[in-house]
Amino acid sequence: MPEHWLIWAVVLLAVLFDYINGFHDTANAIATSVSTRAISPRHAIMMAAILNFAGAMISTGVAKTIGGDLVLNPAQISLEVIIAALIGSIIWNIVTWYYRIPNSSSHSLIGGVIGAVCISVGPAALDIYGIGQIIASLILSPIVALCTGYFVMVALMWIFRRFSPVLLNRQFRKMQLVSASLMAFSHGSNDAQKAMGIIALALLSGGYIDTMEIPIWVKIACATSMALGTSAGGWRIISTMGTKIFKMESINGFAADLNSSIIIFSATFLHLPVSTTHVVSGSIMGIGSAERVRAVHWGVARSMVVTWVVTIPISAVMSALIYEAITLVL
């Protein structure tokens, strides 16, 4: 059995990853409601923190997918590999947060694991089929969100076409409290489980547990760290998500949150990890396109897509280099 300090290093890094994920992805849950002034930023963050925690406690299906579908044999994966994967993904998340770029924490974590495993035991240890399914869900989810967001907005505009814009905004500003709550809860139900899965993989590879079942203390630790991260806020990303893709009214914000939460809940039900950042961004682009295609700031959207594409390879290379550094030290 490996040294105990290594397993605690994994736990602490995974909890730190969830904390960063919380303040990095706060914008996903509250940017639309804050940008339309449906709720004050302070109250929005408090609400998101509580509902992120609640959402993180409801299921472990996504955690089992992350922990069980990345590698063929967990016994082959050392704790040093998992530590390198977490450090690489954390660094990339901080870099993208600093430059106000909505990045996928899911992509950085998957890339980190792939890079660290490839450099340590070789690509043959990876579960190619499982990774393919995970990456497919990460790629398809924003595309689906864009398409469904477009039709949701078209439907709302048709249903409420006879109402005055002032009345609509007033009513939908109230309804945004509901949609933002659903968004925050769904974010916790999917995103917090990724760190749970990594901790479970470490416990399984180290011989601390026998099956890919998530201990209750792991669920509480990850849910708490994400809630604390969310409570710290994510102002740098909120400005990008809330205003720089498409200038939203209350009806747009409601549609974006509702559409995103449905897609994320569906993914959680299917035990598939998705990027909340990608889903919300796709929803906003789809809803903006329904209003007017030129109203969407496609230049900002393009830079976000480029970041999404390069995240997995960059975090993979970073984690591989970090693993080499760890092996020289230990």
**Per-domain boundaries in the chain:** 4-329
> Which pLDDT score is estimated for 33?
77
> Which pLDDT score is estimated for 13?
95
Residues 206-217: tens digit of each pLDDT: 788 888 888 999
Instruction: Pick left, alpha or beta for residue 246 (phi over 0 → left; psi -120 to 50 → alpha; otherwise beta).
Output: beta
Q: Which runs of consecutive H residues, i.e. helices, occur in the chain?
A: 4-35, 41-56, 61-68, 79-98, 105-120, 128-159, 165-205, 216-231, 235-239, 250-269, 276-291, 298-329
Which pLDDT band holds residue 149 (cuts at 50, 70, 90)? very high
- Among 142-156, 223-237, 247-261, the range of highest mean pLDDT: 142-156
- Please give the backbone phi and psi of residue 71, each rounded to the nearest 5 degrees, phi first: -130, 155
> Which pLDDT score is estimated for 28?
65
Contact 177, 39 (CB under 8 A): yes
Contact 201, 13 (CB under 8 A): no
Please give the mean pLDDT across all residues of the chain: 85
Whether 1 shows a pLDDT value over 50: the answer reads no
Percent of the chain with pLDDT over 70: 92
Residues 44-99: tens digit of each pLDDT: 788 888 998 998 898 888 888 888 888 888 878 888 999 999 999 999 888 887 77
> Which pTM does this prediction carry?
0.86
Residues 24-34: tens digit of each pLDDT: 766 666 777 77
Contact 87, 319 (CB under 8 A): yes
